Chain A
Amino acid sequence: MMMDFQVVVLAGGTSKKLVPLVSKEVPKALLPVANRPVLSYVLELLEHSNLKDLIVVVEGQDAALRVGGWISGAYVDRLHVEVAAVPEDVGTAGALRAIAHHLTANDILVVSGDLVCDVSPGAVAAAHRRHGAAVTAMLCSVPVSGPLESGSSSGKDKTKKPGCCNIIGLDPTKQFLLYIATGPEIERDIRVQKSILRAVGQMEIRADLMDAHLYAFKRAVLQEVLDQKDAFQSLQQDVLPYLVRSQLRSELSLNGAPHTEENGHDKVVPGINQVMLSQLLAKTSTPSFHELYAMGPNGSAPVRRTHKCCVYIASQDKYCARLNSIQAFSDINRDVIGEASHLSGYSFSAQNNIIHPSAELGSKTTVGQNCMLGEGSQLGDKCSVKRSVIGRHCRIGSNVKVVNSVVMNHVTISDGCSIQGSVICSNAQLQERVVLKDCQVGAGFVVTSGSEYKGEFLAKKER
């Protein structure tokens, strides 16, 4: 069954939202979550569902090279991955448009490369097939931001960032997507189309669900929308809302028949074509409110064209998060070595932490539970590490406190530092008695001794 699905992983590029964590050297897809690139979580999730033919789309040539290099090293004999580079800032819809000629299967599974979850994509694909839907979106519960981080002001802003939260309308059976507000729209009043509400009779509006950015599309639908709506940039904010809004007056030629429209007539001809087609019969499958709505007054043959937008709602106990903000980066790192430790792929010690055998700990140094210490890292005496991830080959002096933080690779932390709720990128250097709270230190940055920072970005000036 999986054979007919083609998988596209949108791995992004160097997202501006994640500066200073990302850089030319470390595109978003390679950001470490529990010491392995975030993209590996998606790839392994797909592998688990036996989806092994993948197209990984990366924004920017350099980033594509790096991601490609890493994938071919890590998954050489496990996955068949094609890495495609697209220009930067084309958006998710633009990225798909650019690789559309590679798509051949009947259905396309589009996954965001920053997804960290344990929901089977196969289940989404199955729901999609069962309904013959134009699009099926995976929804999950809104991730809870950690209690420790949520106190900080910067953290609060981020959890409210558009895209983190959606307003979603579902039918009573919770199978169909009737309304979705994303991005800036969620700040406005909720405007529900009466025609859809009439057809369904009852709609449940929820604010506690999130669009996980894992979609199954009918290829014909996806390509048609991308072709015709050339202003659409984002799958989440343009394509999906468009399909949801137009589900009862579909403008799609859904018969799955290959397109015969010449490219020369771009605007006018398809328009007329649609009007004519809309008078014709629409395709039917299992009875749903769509079909009932499509029918004529006497239950005769369908007179209206509809398409279905379905959802797959991940159950509450599944983990699902997207690494699309600095806050999320910290949250996910914390979760993967904490409550969602099954995702990390490591086996935890009796103390509920992971300390690489090659790591060295000084005397009276404690590493608490839900911590991770990477290969070859050294800690001096009387250090304390709580709920933090420390990468490979870090050198950490004595009397250092690391709480709720992520320390990437090759970081040097001198004696007497205190780090709380912060992210320290690779090759950064913290001199003596540095105190950081809720800060992000960019790659290779040097924090001079004795300085104290709170809630700041510390990074080298760009060029």
Chain B
Amino acid sequence: MVQRKGSTRVSEDAEELVRVPLQAILLADSFAQKFRPITLERPKVLLPLVNVPMIDYTLAWLESAGIEEVFVFCCAHSKQVINYLENSHWVSLPHFEVTTIESHNSVSAGDALRLIYERHVIHGDFVLITGDTVSNMSLTQALQEHKDRRKKDNNAVMTMVIKRSKPSPITHQSRLGTDELFMAIDPHTKQLLYYEDKADHLKGTLSLEKMLLADNPSISLHNDKQDCYIDICSPEVLSIFTDNFDYQHLRRHFIKGLLVDDIMGYKIFTHEIHSNYAARIDNFRSYDTISKDIIQRWTYPLVPDVQFLGNCAAKLERQGMYRALDIGQSRSAQIGPFSIIGNGTNIGDNTKISNSVIGERCTIGSNVSIEGSYIWDNVTIEDGCVLKHAIVCNDVIMKSGAVLEPGVILSFKVVIGQEFVVPAYSKVSLLQQPTKQDSDEELEYADHNSGVEEIPSITSTVDKLNGVLTCKLPETEAWSTSEVGSGGVGYIWSICEGGHEEEWRHSVAPTPADKLTEVMQATDDDLELTTQGSNVLLPSGELVPDSNSNISEDDDNEDSRDDSVYFEKEVEATFLRAVHENVKEDHVILEVNSLRLSYNMTSADCAGALFYSVMKLALETPCNSNSELLKNVASVITRWQKLIKSYLQSMDEEIEVILKFEEMCLESAKEFSALFAQILHILYEKDILQEDAILKWASEKEGAEESDRVFVKQSEKFIQWLNEASEEED
């Protein structure tokens, strides 16, 4: 990173004179699909966490932390979020203004921030947070640190909040079920120097640029910190997103982009919290963990018995048991520790509940066993059901004797048939699984797209389904009884390919012991493999520090070879589009330039690839004889002369073109081989190639093998002529 101390501006004093209200951007969309199938019907931020929608925790924290203005960015199910907020008490609080920003075409946090930038609503430092964050930290100190750094260094654009949390040594996951995170932080300035969250498990080493040490006498490497996804940003962050229109993900693109980029010199700093709580619900595992933390009061004052928002106060009893005021509980029912029972819920005889959250207005029969599960509102659980580590959404009906094995998710209004056993890690929904299974990298969009066979109106369908159930209309057959038992309603989503293995990682259910042993065994094997594979130490124990990097270089080479093939194909496609759709040359240049950047190619590569495409076009124009072909070549080159020319800045690029041409004549387009000299001449006349380049090429080939000099020989006369001409000039 380029150190740019002293680039201080004095203008922030003026900023302080005009006091800017403390602002926050709350992204009410996680742009992920980890909570599917639930999020197909309801946005993640409105899902209840210990009987309160997640977004309420976030807003309550923002309000208590002194934020005065919150912009809630809604995308997926935006109407639901907006409706909820409009009817909540958040809009009526004094000194706390909640504004919603709606978008229908944002696919990432990057898009969201670009949109907000265009609105010009952010005027100063702001807090960037997602609507699924639970925290009770005080912002004062972090904000002050951020502001102080900004005064000294205008490039300190962001402060991210981190907290200590050591990932499991076996699964390499944090307790929130997120992947392990590797960070390098300057221990004195707290500047973030390295960030790796999607760790490549196969790579046994972490590679830090040695330049880092040149600037900092010592670096702390961390594997024991957790990213809280609470960022204090300067307004520049929004413009950085706008400038880099390809930044999508806050961490993977933005943070890494800034860390890699040493031209602008932007810096990111960290603020570690110790006794406060901050965590983000990223997946079902974190939902489970954070729920337990709330029940165990780590998040105080955001706990069930404190009325921090419109929630019904529950009474805290012994052993972390919370009960709402109005519940019907049989005398023989046992409610174990760390559980919460919502208002209006009835519990039958001999039912046992432990470590679970039960929502409002649920009906739970007799002899039911519920352990470590999350039951939302209006759920009916008939007699003799067994639930272990499951999430059960609103209006689900479990018929008597049904069993949920660990890790099951029942989405809204699912009905589980009598005595049916839902296998572990199943996800059941009324909606069919989207036909094309997107990876969780992508967005959570039920509104628009992603192959969900959406039924026109969910509510009406479900109403109909309820009708179906009661009236036993012939349509019942539509629900195959095999899927969720007789009388059951819902589809069991198949786990996408290869996902099954990993399902336990993000599940509400704790990791089974046999998995742990298995994983540990696997890592040991891996270790042995990497020891041998990476050749850090040869079996003989010989030290071969080089071979490691050699291997990776080989890989790189292969990669780049692949890359160049793809690159050429893309350039060709771009070019053909230009030909057929009459695209302007300037636009083609723009497109090729962006390809060049994304494939990390040189302008010589562009020239070669473009030339290749042009010649191929000439070849594909029908012709009968060599002379006609020559004519075609001449006309095509004349037509696209300007385009090719724009990539021929120096001799190197021109030579690359000649080499490319040679390669074509030898391999893909032998038709040209007879015409090599003539075409070379055309290229010369059309000013595509300068004589220096041709002469240099010829002289470079001087010492080459005979087979490699075929074309030099062929063009001997032409070269000779060029030589003479240049001598005359001299």
Contacts and interface: CB of A to CB of B under 8 A. Distances in A.
A242 to B, nearest CB: 6
A169 interface: yes
Interface in B262-291: none
A186 B204 CA distance: 19
A199 interface: yes
Contacts of A230: 540
A190 B207 contact: yes
Contact of B210 (A188, A251, A298): A188
Contact of B205 (A192, A229, A232): A192
A231 B205 contact: no
Most chain A CB neighbours (cut-off 10 Å) among B203, B531, B543: B543
A169 B220 CA distance: 9
B166 interface: yes
Contacts of A167: 210, 213
Interface stretch (B46-54, B463-471, B516-524, B650-658): B516-524
A382 interface: no
B542 interface: yes
Given A191-B208, A202-B221, 12 more contacts: A192-B221, A193-B204, A194-B206, A198-B167, A198-B169, A201-B166, A201-B223, A205-B220, A232-B542, A241-B543, A292-B169, A296-B520
B204 A194 contact: yes
Contacts of B548: 191
Across the A-B interface, the 9 shortest Cβ-Cβ residue pairs: A201-B224, A229-B541, A190-B208, A203-B221, A191-B205, A205-B219, A231-B542, A297-B516, A207-B213
Given A190-B213, A249-B531, A297 B218 contact: no
B669 interface: no
Interface string A199-237: 111111111100000000000000001001111100001
A190 B211 CA distance: 10
19 contacts: A188-B549, A189-B210, A191-B205, A191-B206, A191-B548, A193-B204, A194-B206, A197-B182, A197-B221, A198-B169, A203-B220, A205-B219, A208-B218, A229-B541, A229-B542, A232-B541, A245-B536, A292-B169, A297-B517
B543 A238 contact: yes
Interface of B: 166-167, 169-170, 172, 180, 182, 184, 187, 199, 203-210, 212-214, 217-224, 513, 516-517, 520, 524, 527-528, 531, 536-537, 539-543, 545, 548-549
Nearest to A228: B541
A208 B217 contact: yes
A450 B187 CA distance: 56
Given A246-B537, A304-B524, A206 B203 contact: no
Contacts of A203: 220-222
Contacts of B166: 201
Nearest to A241: B543
Interface string A179-193: 000001111111111
Contact of B541 (A169, A184, A200, A231): A231
A195 interface: yes
A329 interface: no
Interface string A306-343: 00000000000000000000000000000000000000
Nearest to A200: B223
A205 B213 CA distance: 8
A189 B208 contact: yes
A192 B524 contact: no
B217 A206 contact: yes
Given A201-B223, A229-B540, A193 B169 contact: no
B376 to A, nearest CB: 33
B542 A205 contact: no
Given A231-B543, A271-B539, A297-B517, A205 B205 contact: no
Contact of A205 (B172, B218, B527): B218
Contact of A232 (B224, B536, B543): B543
A5 interface: no
A243 to B, nearest CB: 11
Most chain A CB neighbours (cut-off 10 Å) among B203, B224, B513, B520: B224
Contacts of A200: 223
A230 B538 CA distance: 12
A293 interface: yes
Given A189-B208, A191-B205, A231-B542, A202 B169 contact: no
A240 to B, nearest CB: 11
Contacts of A207: 213-214, 217-218
Contact of A204 (B207, B212, B219): B219
B541 A199 contact: no
Contacts of A205: 184, 208, 213, 218-221
Nearest to A192: B206
Nearest to B518: A297
Given A187-B210, A242-B541, A194 B182 contact: yes
Most chain B CB neighbours (cut-off 10 Å) among A190, A203, A232: A190
Contacts of A201: 166, 222-224
Nearest to A271: B539
B199 A245 contact: no
Most chain B CB neighbours (cut-off 10 Å) among A200, A201, A228, A241: A201
B202 to A, nearest CB: 10
A325 B545 CA distance: 25
Contacts of B203: 194
Nearest to A239: B543
Contacts of A241: 543
Given A201-B224, A245-B537, A191 B207 contact: yes
Most chain A CB neighbours (cut-off 10 Å) among B180, B218, B531, B548: B218
Nearest to B209: A189
A441 B543 CA distance: 38
A231 B213 contact: no
A231 B543 CA distance: 8
A92 B224 CA distance: 38
B527 to A, nearest CB: 6
A237 B184 CA distance: 26
A167 B541 CA distance: 22
A300 to B, nearest CB: 10
Nearest to B517: A297
B208 A192 contact: yes
A198 B166 CA distance: 8
Given A249-B531, A271-B539, A292-B169, A197 B209 contact: no
Contacts of B213: 167, 190, 205, 207
B167 A204 contact: no
B218 A169 contact: no
Nearest to A295: B169
Most chain A CB neighbours (cut-off 10 Å) among B213, B221, B542, B548: B221
A195 B204 contact: yes
A304 to B, nearest CB: 7
Nearest to A289: B169
A203 B222 CA distance: 6
Nearest to B514: A297
Given A189-B209, A202-B224, A298 B182 contact: no
Contacts of A251: 541
Contacts of A237: 543
A194 B199 contact: yes
Contacts of B184: 205
B185 to A, nearest CB: 10
A198 B187 contact: no
A204 B221 contact: yes
A199 B221 CA distance: 12
A198 B513 CA distance: 21
Contacts of B540: 229-231, 267
B224 A185 contact: no
Interface string A239-277: 001100110010100000000000000010001000000
B221 A198 contact: no
A53 to B, nearest CB: 31
A169 B213 CA distance: 12
A195 B180 CA distance: 12
A251 B182 CA distance: 27
Contacts of B513: 297-298
